[in-house]
């Protein structure tokens, strides 16, 4: 265990606190990719990929034992909607898929389940597995030129090669296991727009990248908060594109931490900061934001640090020094490699 990791564990083990530190971002060659575990309560691009791959197995993968799809509680995973929401039906669909492949029926998409789900595809291929790749490229690398049409044409081939070069993989233009794993692993950017979120810089402008779960949670909470008449949600640091050390933070390394400004009575938090002690602070709107975050990804909020004593008394936030003027949201994933981020 490195000295830096030991400090992180000590800081969080004591009271779930955050300590400031600074270091340079990691080199690209140091990246080690893995399949991100997805489970009940998750949301986002990775969940939509799972749902689309269910459909891909209807026509592209070998038939399960016995030539039929196993169902759990009457759920056939091949006909689930592609909505990016890991609800009870998707969890049952995962169990059905796991049963059909002889895997442990946990309802959790771990590395083994991902390995059974992904289907190698390349130029000339068609179908839902191709559409899943296209969605990942658009969401995680902003490849707007790639249509989600399920046809592996020249635009998709070029985008795959560009992604492989970006990740230091062989530029084959085909999506093999290593490329699938890198696509699922890669962070994505939030959509800063009038419909949900705005960006505020705290000195680390490039640090807006997060896991699919974090970005989808922020976008969903931002849309809910805006619809409630409270204005957009102002997002600060999340993580760097490939994670790793970020200046000014000991956390924000794995795409599961985000800093947000408290809401203001004038709904102008995108332009101006506030703190819970000021008259410009809107407690009702901030409470609504926190509730929207927790509702967007149930069971996946580790904690939210913010020092408003009323919200602390309500069990919505946790005190930590230097968190009068921003919320620190930490999400978690089932079976995550770092226990600090494990649900």
Give residue-wise pLDDT tens across range 18-44.
Answer: 333 333 333 444 368 999 999 999 999
What is the C-alpha to C-alpha distance for residues 341 and 266, in angstroms, rounded to an integer?
35
CB 238 within 8 A of CB 252: yes
The pLDDT assigned to 73 comes to 57
For residue 250, what pLDDT is reported? 83
How many angstroms separate the CA atoms of 342 and 331, rounded?
Answer: 9
Residue 138 has pLDDT above 90, yes or no: yes
Given this model, what pLDDT does residue 212 score?
97
Name 50's Cβ contacts closer than 8 Å, sequence gap at least 6: 38, 86, 90, 94, 109, 117
- Residue 267: predicted pLDDT: 97
Which pLDDT does position 60 carry in this prediction? 55
Task: Kindly tell me the burial class for residue 73, based on how many C-beta atoms sit within 10 Å of its own C-beta (0-12, 13-18, 19 or more).
Answer: exposed
Q: What residues pair up with 230 in beta bridges, in sequence order?
A: none
Residue-wise pLDDT tens digits, 190-217: 999 888 999 997 767 789 999 999 999 9
Q: How far apart are CA 299 and CA 98, in angstroms?
A: 22
Q: What is the pLDDT of residues 63-90, one digit of tens each?
A: 455 545 556 556 677 778 899 999 999 9
Q: What contacts 85, CB < 8 A, 6 or more positions away? A: 43, 47
pLDDT at 205: 76
3-state helix, strand, coil in the chain (%, to 5): 40, 10, 50
């Amino acid at each position: 265990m490195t000295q830096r990791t030991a400090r992180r564990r000590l800081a969080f083990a004591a009271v779930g606190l955050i300590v400031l530190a600074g270091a340079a971002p990691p080199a690209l060659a140091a990246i080690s990719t893995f399949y991100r575990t997805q489970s009940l309560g998750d949301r986002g691009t990775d969940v939509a990929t799972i749902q689309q791959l269910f459909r891909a197995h209807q026509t592209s993968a070998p038939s399960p034992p016995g030539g039929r799809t196993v169902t759990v509680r009457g759920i056939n995973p091949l006909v689930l909607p592609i909505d990016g929401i890991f609800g009870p039906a998707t969890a049952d669909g995962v169990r059905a898929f796991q049963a059909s492949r002889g895997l442990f029926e946990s309802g959790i998409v771990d590395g083994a389940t991902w390995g059974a789900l992904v289907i190698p595809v390349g130029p000339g291929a068609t179908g839902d597995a191709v559409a899943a790749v296209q969605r990942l490229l658009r969401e995680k690398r902003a490849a707007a030129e790639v249509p989600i049409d399920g046809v592996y044409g020249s635009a998709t081939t070029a985008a795959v090669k560009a992604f492989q070069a970006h990740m230091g993989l062989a530029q084959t233009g085909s999506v093999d296991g290593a490329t699938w794993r890198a696509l699922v692993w890669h962070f994505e950017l939030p959509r800063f727009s009038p419909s949900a979120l705005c960006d505020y810089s705290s000195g680390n402008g490039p640090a807006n990248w997060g896991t699919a779960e974090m970005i989808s949670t922020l976008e969903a909470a931002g849309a809910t908060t805006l619809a409630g008449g409270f204005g957009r949600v102002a997002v600060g640091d999340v993580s760097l594109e490939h994670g790793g050390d970020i200046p000014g933070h000991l956390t924000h390394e794995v795409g599961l931490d985000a800093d947000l400004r408290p809401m203001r009575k004038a709904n102008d938090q995108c332009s101006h900061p506030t703190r819970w002690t000021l008259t410009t602070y809107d407690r009702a709107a901030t409470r609504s934001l926190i509730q929207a975050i927790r509702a967007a990804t149930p069971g996946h909020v580790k904690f939210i640090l913010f020092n408003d004593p009323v919200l602390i008394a309500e069990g919505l936030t946790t005190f930590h020094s230097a968190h009068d003027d921003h919320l620190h949201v930490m999400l978690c994933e089932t079976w995550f490699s770092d226990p600090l981020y494990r649900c």
